[in-house]
Every structure is written in C-alpha cells, then in structure tokens.
Amino acid sequence: MSVDKTTVAKIARLARIAVPDERQGPLADELNAILDWIAELDEVKTDHVEPLASVTGHALPMRDDVVNDGGCVDDVLANAPESASGFFVVPKVVE
Amino acid sequence: MSDLLSLSAVEARAALDNKDISAVELTTAYLAAADETASLNNYVARTADQALTMAAESDKRIADGTAGLLEGVPIGVKDLFCTKGVASTACSRILDGFVPRYESTVTANLWAAGGVMLGKLNCDEFAMGSANETSAFGAAINPWQGPDKLDLVPGGSSGGSASAVAARSALMATGTDTGGSIRQPAAFCGVVGLKPTYGRCSRWGIVAFASSLDQAGPFTRTVADNALMMTAMASHDPKDSTSSAVPLQDLAAAVTAGVKGMKIGVPKEYVMDGMDSEVTALWQQGQAWLQAAGAELVEVSLPHTKYALPAYYIIAPAEASSNLARYDGVRYGSRVEADSLDGMYEATRAAGFGDEVQRRIMIGTYVLSAGYYDAYYLKAQKVRRLIKNDFDSVFETVDALITPATPTAAFPVGRKIDDPVTNFLNDVFTVPANLAGLPGMSVPAGLTKDGLPLGLQIVGKAFDEASLYRVGGVIEAAANFTTTPARMAGGAS
C-alpha cells in the first residue's frame, strides 16, 4: 500500500490541514517511508488475537448521572479567539 | 549559591526543616541559575514572582510545622501541563496565547505538597519528538558537551525538563512519557527519570498526545529524590477515568532496600544491530552490579520486541489525530481567518502545527480511514496484545528487567535526518513499556569515552514501582555517577 499525491490531498482534507500543492509530493514520500517500515507488522501472525485498546486492567468507573460542573461561561470563553454574547463566533455556516 | 544548588531535594528538605536555609533563598538561587543557563533554552516561561510568593508561603508553613512532602522545593513544569493563569502551549504555535483557567491534577498535587513553581519547560511540539527539536520555541540544549563542544540535544520530548534538572536550574521537573519521552532525555542528560505504571498519575489537565500511552512522571538528580517526587505526584483522580486506585508503595523505603534475592531479567531481543559497543558494555556492567548486590540475573525472551516500534507508530499517531482534532481555531489558541468554517480550520491547523505534528496527524488519519483501519490500526492493536503477553509471561518468573535506556548517547542539535524513521529508533528500548502500560526508570550509569552520560533502564510489573526504586538505588550506588555537565549553573566551566 503506498500513497500518492491524490491520497495525500484526501488525507489532508480529512485532517483539515491545508497542504499546498508543492508539499503534497514530498509529503507522500515521507508518509510512504513510514508506511513501508510499518508494513513489517505483516510478518506477525495475529489470527485469533484480541486487539488491545486499554491497559488499565479496570472497568471504566461509573458515577451518578447528575450535573456536577458548569456555570462557568466566562472561563469557557476566556481563551476563544472570538466570542460574543456568551457564544463562540465562527465564520458563517448557513447561507 | 552553588552550595544551595548542589543539594539534592532530600537534603534541601532537611536543611529547610532545620532552618539552615530558607525556601526563598533556595528559590532565589534557582531563579538565578535559570538566568545563568538561559542559553540552554530549557525554560519557555519563567514565573519568578509566583515562585517567590510560593517560597515565602513555604517558609511560613515550615515555621508553623505544617510543611508538606515537597515544601520549598523548586520545580520546573513541562509545558504540556496546564497551569492556571500561566500560558500553556505544548510548545506549539496553535496554542499561542492559551492561558488555562484550571490546574492539572499532577501540578496541583505538587503545589499542595509545598512545591514551588519556577516556570514552564521546553519540549517537543505536542510531545512529538525525541530531540526537543520540534518545539515552536526552538531546540532546548543539553548541558553536557563532548570534546568538540558542539551543542547536543537533551533528548525528547521532555528535553527542557531533563536539561534543566541536569543544569541545576530546577531541582525537580515534571515530564510526560508516551514512547520514552521521560526515560530517553533522562539518559541523554544524566538524570533519573521515571515513567510510572499507566494510571498512576492523573492525565487530567495534561495536553493529550496518545491517551492510551501518555503518563506523567518525575525528573530528578537522585533516585531518592525521584521517589519523593513520585510520591507527591501520584494520586487516584476521578477526573481521569483511567486513573488507578491501587495504593502507591513506600517508594522512599525501596530506594535503600537492596536487590538481594530479586530475580532480574535480561531480554535477549534488546541486543540490537548498530548499538554502540559502549552501551552494550554498560548494560553488562549493570548486570554485574546487580549480581554483586545479591540479585539473580536471568536471560529472558520478549519475542515481539522488534514489532513494538512500528505498532507504536500506528497507535500513537492514530490517537494523536483524534486528540488534536480539538485545535480548530474556535475555542482556544490561534486562528487564521478564512471565508468558510472549513477554510478557517484548514488554514489555522496548517499555520499552527509544525511539520512533525502535521506528518503524524496525517499518518494517524490515514491508518484510521475507511479501508485501512483493519490493516493498520486493528493489526497494531493485536500486536500490542502480543507485546503485553510477552511481558506478562516474563514477569511470572522475574521481578524486573534491565535494559539499555537508549541505543546511543546524545547527538548534535540539527543532525540532518532525511528518513523520519531513523529518529524513531531513539525510542526502541522505551516504547514497549508504554504499549504494555508498565513502569520504566532510566538511571544514569556511566559515561561514553567522549564523556557523555548513558543510562540503564529498569522495567517492572504494573503498579510495582518499588522494585524499580530498589534496582535503581543499587545501580546509582554502584555507578557512583558524580560527573557534572560542562554547562551547569554554578559550575566550574
């Protein structure tokens, strides 16, 4: 499996990172170098092996389903690049 | 002043309690040391006023007889920890201007124990790197130098932390370790670094890189100091669902408990092509020290070791691509304006993330994308299971493992590497413990012929940090590592 410029453009779009046209070729080479190396994993037999996503060894703890935080709009908005009337402001989404 | 800087944290605590020195004096000495070594670029922000205020409060508590475990000890904080009212950037342009309204659990624990915050320390951008060269603030420099006097990297990602502790501009420092980011810089800078068991330290308030691997841990100059800091850092935190309630052992007692009767494994797969002969020799020396101290050395096999690094470079970028989706120019950090919402996201993230971070987000996005998820991500998670099984089986017969910490000593800043994979090899000995969630410690154990520090790594069973401190204490005593770096505050050169 190797990525080309078109795939790089597609991944960049999924990742919401603007990658200029002239960077797409070099980036494809860099990604392929990593992917070729990762392909070493194909040697490992993993039939009937359960994937491991967490090493905690404990079940996720439960808590009562009650409000235990909030009422801090100022704190939430304090670092926003732009806010108004208690809301985050973003470019127009609906025409 | 250099007398104050030469005290270990344990010694400083005793001197503070005896009123031989004051916390304000100690903090003042460290602030001056940070000025003196500013060219190492290991601090990205200094909080001198806050430090002196905290130190004055420490002096009051010492006078009142209510001193905490770390009362009056000056501490540097990796810039990956959110600190209330103090800019926290993960050394990325995308978090430019971000000032948290809350304090991370780990740093809150340190301040509650009486620690004094000196400032924020340099690191690789979002902790992605092994040389501290991807930081938006520029590279941090290792205070050690070879005969050619070139600037060397301190390792990474917690390079500023290791550099500051080695240069005596912080008595202790926090770090985080996702694939070796505490143990590798500790080895490169000749200091002690611990990555605890996954779940020991709360991740709440730490900028996330790869959440199933990230752990915070302490950097110190001695093993006993490390036990002290770890005891204050660790806690069970309901705000982190992966935080563990397993009680912490008596780590301070473990440091001097010795290794008599312990079984120490030597994994045969850790003999790697291209490893420095000096690293191999030190590893053998370490085994001899432990044997002389009464431990039984046993050759063991971890057959999937060589697959840990490629599995890590699927899992970590995958989790990073998800975690870093939050940097969108809306809620915090920097924004690049554009006509559309997507255009704003894309422009903000292109300008805000550096090359290495962009590359890892792209890899992560690719391995999670439709059609590739099973071949890459699921496959890596299965290999991760096999790696953990290897450790589980070995730990049925041994108490801890001894390995080299890094395949080489520190290398020059700006070393040109065309192949990104070459840089990944720095973490070849450290990554397996992250995948298995196990504790690992790097202890300085010797010098290369060029006079650069090398470390040995000890890996233990989950939640058995005490065994690491036992082994670490013995290695420290045997190695008698007293050489100090060239560019140290209060140093001769």
Cis bond upstream, residue B301 (ω within 30): no
Model confidence pLDDT, tens digit, residues B223-255: 999 999 999 999 999 999 999 999 999 999 999
Which of A17, A76, A82 is the closest to B349 by Cβ? Answer: A17
- At residue B387, the pLDDT reads 98
CA A61 to chain B, closest CA, distance in angstroms equals 6
CA B463 to chain A, closest CA, distance in angstroms equals 11
Amino acid at B302: L
CB B194 within 8 A of CB B476: no
Amino acid at B297: L
| Dihedral pair phi/psi, residue B45, rounded to 5° | -155, 135
Distance of alpha carbon B280 from alpha carbon B63, whole angstroms:
50
Question: Domain for residue A59, yes or no?
Answer: no
Lookup: tokens for B354: 């550096």
Average pLDDT over residues B447-474: 98
Burial label for B69, CB within 10 Å (0-12, 13-18, 19+), is middle
In this structure, what DSSP letter does residue B430 have?
T
State whether the Cα torsion B60-B61-B67-B70 is positive or negative.
negative
Distance of alpha carbon B437 from alpha carbon A85, whole angstroms:
45
| Dihedral pair phi/psi, residue B63, rounded to 5° | -65, -35
Q: Of A69, A21, A38, A17, which is closest to residue B312 (Cα–Cα)?
A: A38
Lookup: tokens for B339: 């006509």
Residue in chain B lying closest to A73 (CA): B101
* Strand locations in A1-95 (E): 83-84, 87-88
CB B384 within 8 A of CB B125: no
- At residue B450, the pLDDT reads 96
Question: Domain for residue A16, yes or no?
Answer: yes
- Chain A residues whose CB is inside 8 A of the B338 CB are 91
CB B282 within 8 A of CB B446: yes
Local structure of B44: helix, strand or coil: strand
Question: Domain for residue A93, yes or no?
Answer: no
What is the Rg, in whole angstroms, of the alpha carbon atoms belonging to chain B? Answer: 21
Could you count the other beta carbons within 10 Å of the beta carbon of residue B153? 26
Could you count the other beta carbons within 10 Å of the beta carbon of residue A25? 12
pTM > 0.80: yes
- At residue B198, the pLDDT reads 98
* Strand locations in B55-124 (E): 74-78, 116-121
**H-run or E-run covering A6:** helix A5-14
User: Which residues are paired to B265 by β-bridges?
Assistant: B298, B401
In this structure, what DSSP letter does residue B412 have?
B
Question: Domain for residue A24, yes or no?
Answer: yes
- At residue A57, the pLDDT reads 81
State whether the Cα torsion B97-B164-B21-B104 is positive or negative.
positive
Number of domains in chain A: 1
Question: Domain for residue A95, yes or no?
Answer: no
Task: State whether B462 and A57 contact (CB < 8 Å).
Answer: yes
- Does position B166 have pLDDT exceeding 60, yes or no? yes
Among the options B163, B181, B235, B467, which is catalytic? B181
CB B26 within 8 A of CB B55: yes
Residue in chain A lying closest to B331 (CA): A80
Model confidence pLDDT, tens digit, residues A38-89: 999 999 999 999 999 999 888 889 989 999 889 999 999 999 999 999 999 9
- Does position B493 have pLDDT exceeding 70, yes or no? no
- Chain B residues whose CB is inside 8 A of the A52 CB are 381-382, 384-385, 388
State how far the alpha carbon of B399 is from the alpha carbons of B186, B343, B359, B391, in Å. 23, 54, 39, 11
Task: State whether B420 and A12 contact (CB < 8 Å).
Answer: no
Listed in sequence order, the residues at least 6 apart from B3 whose beta carbon sits closer than 8 Å to its beta carbon are: none
Lowest mean pLDDT among B4-8, B183-187, B293-297, B487-491: B487-491
- Does position B2 have pLDDT exceeding 60, yes or no? no
- Give this complex's ipTM: 0.96
Distance of alpha carbon B209 from alpha carbon A27, whole angstroms:
22
Residue with tokens 């101290």: B293
Question: Domain for residue A65, yes or no?
Answer: no
Question: Domain for residue A34, yes or no?
Answer: yes
- Chain A residues whose CB is inside 8 A of the B419 CB are 33
Average pLDDT over residues B351-380: 96
Q: What is the largest CA-CA distance in chain B?
A: 70
- At residue B423, the pLDDT reads 75
Task: State whether A55 and B382 contact (CB < 8 Å).
Answer: no
In this structure, what DSSP letter does residue B248 have?
P
User: Which residues are paired to B45 by β-bridges?
Assistant: B120
Distance of alpha carbon B35 from alpha carbon B489, whole angstroms:
9
At residue B1 the predicted structure's pLDDT band, cuts being 50, 70 and 90, is very low
- At residue B418, the pLDDT reads 64
State how far the alpha carbon of B296 is from the alpha carbons of B52, B293, B429, B470, in Å. 49, 9, 22, 14
Model confidence pLDDT, tens digit, residues B106-162: 999 999 999 999 999 999 999 999 999 999 999 999 999 999 999 999 999 999 999
Local structure of B365: helix, strand or coil: helix
Q: What per-residue string of b and e applies to B215-227 under the rule 16 or more CB within 10 Å gives b?
A: bbbbbbbbbbbbb
- At residue B137, the pLDDT reads 98
Model confidence pLDDT, tens digit, residues B187-201: 999 999 999 999 999
Q: Which residue range forms the structural domain that includes residue A23?
A: 5-43
Which of A11, A43, A55 is the closest to B436 by Cβ? Answer: A55
In this structure, what DSSP letter does residue B94 have?
G
Which of B310, B346, B369 is the closest to A37 by Cβ? Answer: B310
Distance of alpha carbon B164 from alpha carbon B248, whole angstroms:
27
At residue A93 the predicted structure's pLDDT band, cuts being 50, 70 and 90, is confident
Question: Domain for residue A18, yes or no?
Answer: yes
Lookup: tokens for B373: 């998820």
Residues belonging to chain B = 493
CA A86 to chain B, closest CA, distance in angstroms equals 12
* Whether residue B78 lies in the annotated active site: yes
Task: State whether A91 and B388 contact (CB < 8 Å).
Answer: no
